Chains A and B, each alone.
Chain A
């Protein structure tokens, strides 16, 4: 069964508007971490934001926030005030604490295009 699901292969947003990228996950581990990465056309993976399963508050990092709904097993990324430079692939990922390998499990990604 797929552990990380990103249902939006591609999205458009107008510059300066907010956009939400969806991510749902599946795990039986009560302790886990959720990550979002950005991959520009250059190929490097850029870490954006992290949410721990026991964190009480939703994570925020500048214009990025993570809408964490534990009961629904969703961890949507919200980008406020979109900029042209936000055009990229975005990946949601999870690490299960019971998994001693510390590996990340990735979703299939969402390609975001910001229109001027």
Chain B
């Protein structure tokens, strides 16, 4: 089975901290995505990557950055966490020749 693993299910961080959310997939997928999910807003794309060291901004990239040094790992970085970044973060991966996406189980981040 394709697996996408997010390192933490729950995370509590302080305002101003630098936060790393890690995502690892084991199926050699080219594309990886970070979404945030908020009630009433659905999932919104933060950043995505279609190759190692390649990244593209999604719809809401402000306050975030990403890193993809290896094909299997895609990290989301909150440079200076703020309370409005309290949310559920979902990582996904896919391959161009597949229509399906595989999601991780999500990280619920609370910034206090």
Contact = CB atoms under 8 A, between A and B. Distances in A.
Interface of A: 4, 6, 9, 33, 35, 37, 42-45, 47, 50, 52, 91, 93, 95, 100-109
Interface residues of B, number: 27
Interface stretch (B64-72, B73-81, B88-96): B88-96
A25 to B, nearest CB: 13
Given A91-B43, A109-B42, 8 more contacts: A43-B88, A44-B105, A45-B103, A100-B50, A102-B50, A103-B58, A108-B40, A108-B41
B108 interface: yes
Given A106-B43, A107-B42, A108-B40, A44 B100 contact: no
Contact of A47 (B50, B56, B100, B106): B100
Interface of B: 9, 31, 33, 35, 40-45, 48, 50, 56, 58, 88, 90, 92, 94, 96, 99-101, 103-106, 108
B106 A102 contact: no
Contact of A101 (B31, B35, B43): B31
A45 B33 contact: no
Contact of A42 (B35, B44, B100, B105): B105
B53 to A, nearest CB: 16
Contacts of B45: 103-105
Given A101-B31, A103-B58, A45 B90 contact: yes
B100 A91 contact: no
23 contacts: A6-B42, A33-B99, A42-B105, A43-B88, A43-B105, A43-B108, A45-B90, A45-B103, A50-B99, A91-B42, A93-B43, A95-B99, A101-B31, A102-B94, A103-B45, A103-B48, A104-B33, A104-B43, A105-B45, A106-B43, A107-B42, A108-B40, A108-B42
